[in-house]
Amino acid sequence: MDKNTLSITDNRTGAQYVVPIFTGTYPRYGAAINAQALRQIKVSEDDFGLMSYDPGFTNTACCKSAITFIDGDRGILRYRGFPIEELAGRCTFLETAFLILHGELPAPAQLQEWHRQIKSHALLHENTKKLMDGFHHDAHPMGMLVSTVAALSTFYPDAKNLHDPVARRLQTYRLVGKMPTIAAYAYRHSMGLPYVYPDEDLSYTGNFIRMMFKRTEVGYKPDPVFERALDVLFVLHADHEQNCSTNAMRSVGSSHADPYVALAAAAAALYGPLHGGANEQVLRMLHEIGSKDKVSDYIKRVKAKEVRLMGFGHRVYKNYDPRARIIKQVADEVFGVTGRNPLLDIALELERIALADDYFIKHKLYPNVDFYSGIIYQAMRFPVEMFPVLFAIPRTIGWLAQWDEMLKDPEQKIARPQQVYVGADCRKTAESAAV
Ligand code: ACO
């Protein structure tokens, strides 16, 4: 018998089935059976067939993807085969973004054209500004970002042309180009500051920092340490395979909705405190703890399950999050300029106690990417509300690459999970029962 198969005996009927097993690049990591193969397993002809039950998709592959590889047990993250450590050390965010989308690092001429396209799409239609002006002064910037990205759909009706690769690429340039501008405008709206138009002479992150923080200085120059730190943070956040927001992008995109509304859905998923909202929650938690000597009490509350230790734990990393290590180095560089953020001492103490504690060891809970990113962002003067927005900007390329891959994949269909119905059997209203 072919070894790459699974034999199943249905004890309800005694029937036996042989189901093929297929693998991806690494047979050790990513062997699967096709869930449809289970549907032949029936107790009678009119039986629907067996399904698998998997709330939160903890063990269900929804696609074959060639973009990002994660080995959570070994703490490995690679984009298109390149280790995250190498990309963060050697490549800019825009080079990494090109790689994620195209599968190869850009040649110099390709990179120049990629920069030109992204920068030329950084401006927003003036009506978009009017739309953003309509938000209340204390609107959360992530709510503004989600709504504004969705509204872009009305500005670009050509985005519905999903099956034209040239049109798809144009929407990619637009979205990657405009996200920092939307993000900065959302911040400046909340501060009552005038909007700053993009400057294409600056790098992607340098321009973003300028749009955020420029006041009345004529020759505003972003701090090169901040510019590089943000660039590295953007590299680390660019893609992370099939997480909650990427799944939202693919799921909404699978109905052939345009990329603006699909990306708005992805950003909405990212907004949640269990996902991209976590770094905001980490900062709130560190403020709540207040000082190093209160850390032990807080850990007791975590173990009593009163609260969660935000920035700890991950669905796939059960050893360590490789991004967290790189972020710690970035933190040192940023604090070299800004001075040490006092919250860092609380964070380090939390990490020290948690990593030595049985509860955290047993539950395989380690710091994730969000544990330190918030402290760095705060030191760079980004307000806490902007943290999930700072995640959404670089993740845009990941969402778009995954969306592009999905549309080109002939095996993909509209996302439509099954359910196991546990509600009432067929019943009658009181009126019809009385008849
Ligand atoms: N603090 C305390 N206990 C935790 C934590 C935590 N941060 N995370 C998980 N646990 C415990 C749970 O209480 C549960 O314990 P039990 O088995 O004794 O009941 C066990 O670990 C498993 O927890 P799940 O929620 O089932 O784990 P899951 O893999 O579904 O969750 C998640 C992963 C959502 C990231 C979780 O670890 C969490 O809530 N972390 C805090 C939020 C956070 O930092 N999110 C950012 C993730 S990274 C990102 O999105 C970029």
Write down the pLDDT at residue 318.
84
Write down the pLDDT at residue 319. 80
Q: Fill in the amino acid letter for 16.
A: Q
**Is there a contact between 234 and 387 (Cβ–Cβ < 8 Å)?**
no
**From CA 109, how far away is CA 130, in angstroms rounded?**
37
State which amino acid sits at residue 22. Answer: F
In a domain, 238, yes or no: yes
Place of tokens 């700053």: 196
Residue type at position 424: A
Helix axes 387-408 and 259-270, enclosed angle (nearest 10): 130
How far apart are the CA of 310 and the centre of ligand 1, in A?
8
Amino acid symbol at 89:
G
Mutate which of 368, 372, 387, 391 for ligand 1 pocket (most atoms within 8 A of beta carbon): 368
Q: What predicted TM-score, i.e. pTM, was given to this entire model?
A: 0.92
For residue 311, being part of any structural domain is answered with yes
In testing the pocket of ligand 1, which one of 244, 365, 377 has its CB within 8 Å of the most ligand atoms?
365
Name the residues annotated as catalytic.
275, 314, 370
Using H for helix, E for strand and C for coil, what is the string for the chain? CCCCEEEEECCCCCCEEEEEEECCCECCECCEECHHHHHHCCCCCCCCCCCCCCHHHCCCCCCCCCCEEEECCCCEEEECCEEHHHHHHHCCHHHHHHHHHHCCCCCHHHHHHHHHHHHHCCCCCHHHHHHHHCCCCCCCHHHHHHHHHHHHHHHCHHHHCCCCHHHHHHHHHHHHHHHHHHHHHHHHHHHCCCCCCCCCCCCHHHHHHHHHHCCCCCCCCCCHHHHHHHHHHHHHCCCCCCCHHHHHHHHHHCCCCCHHHHHHHHHHHHCCCCCCCHHHHHHHHHHHHCCHHHHHHHHHHHHCCCCCCCCECCCCCCCCCHHHHHHHHHHHHHHHHHCCCHHHHHHHHHHHHHHCCHHHHHCCCCECHHHHHHHHHHHCCCCHHHHHHHHHHHHHHHHHHHHHHHHHCCCCCCCCCCCCCCCCCCCCCHHHHHC
Looking from the CA of residue 302, the nearest atom of ligand 1 is 2
pLDDT of res. 341:
81
Backbone φ and ψ for 38, nearest 5 degrees, come out as -75, -20
Dist. CA 69–CA 279, nearest whole Å: 23
Does residue 413 sit within a domain? no
Q: Which atom of ligand 1 is nearest to the CA of 368?
A: 48
Closest ligand 1 atom number to CA of residue 275: 50
Q: Domain limits at 159?
A: 81-408
The pLDDT, as a whole number, for residue 27 is: 84
Q: What is the pLDDT along the chain (435 residues), one digit of tens a residue?
A: 899 999 999 999 999 999 999 999 998 888 999 999 999 999 999 999 999 999 999 999 999 999 999 998 888 999 999 999 999 999 999 999 999 999 999 999 999 999 999 999 999 999 999 999 999 999 999 999 999 999 999 999 999 999 999 999 999 999 999 999 999 999 999 999 999 999 999 999 999 999 999 999 988 999 999 999 999 999 999 999 999 999 999 999 999 999 999 999 999 999 998 888 888 889 999 999 999 999 999 999 999 999 999 999 988 888 888 998 899 889 989 999 999 888 889 998 999 999 899 999 999 998 888 888 988 999 999 999 999 999 999 999 999 999 999 999 999 999 999 999 999 999 999 988 887
Is 70 inside any structural domain?
no
Determine the distance separating the centroid of ligand 1 and the alpha carbon of 315, expressed in angstroms.
7
What gap in Å lies between CA 110 and CA 78, rounded to an integer?
Answer: 22
Residues enclosing ligand 1, CB less than 6 A? 274-275, 278, 302, 305, 308-315, 363, 365, 368-370
Whole-number pLDDT of residue 395: 98
**276-286 core/surface letters (b: 16 or more CB in 10 A; e: else):** bbbbbbbbebb
The confidence score (pLDDT) of residue 238 equals: 98
Residues 203, 153: Cα–Cα separation, whole Å: 27
Degrees to nearest 5, angle at CA 55 with 40 and 70: 95
CATH number for the domain harbouring residue 88: 1.10.580.10
What is the domain count for the chain? 1
**How many CA within 13 A on the CB side of residue 400?**
30
The pLDDT assigned to 328 comes to 84
Q: How far apart are alpha carbons 274 and 278 in whole angstroms?
A: 6
* Max CA pair span of the chain: 84
In this structure, is residue 427 part of a structural domain? no
What pLDDT sits at residue 41? 98
Report how far residue 178's alpha carbon sits from residue 208's, in angstroms, rounded to the nearest whole number.
Answer: 10
- 26 Cα to the center of ligand 1, angstroms: 27
Distance CA 255, CA 416 (A): 10
Does 319 map to a domain?
Answer: yes
State the number of CA atoms in the 13 A half-sphere of 393 facing the CB: 28
pLDDT at site 129: 93
What does the pLDDT read at residue 180?
98
CA-nearest residue, atom 16 of ligand 1: 363
Residue 132 maps to a domain:
yes
- Indicate whether 26 belongs to any domain: no
Distance 248 CA to ligand 1 centre (A): 20
Looking at residue 204, what is its pLDDT? 98
The 3-class SS string of 353-392 reads: HHHCCHHHHHCCCCECHHHHHHHHHHHCCCCHHHHHHHHH
Q: Locate the ligand 1 atom nearest the alpha carbon of residue 243 and give its number.
A: 50
**What pLDDT score was predicted for residue 296?**
94
pLDDT at position 42 is 98
Ligand 1 centroid from CA 282, angstroms: 13
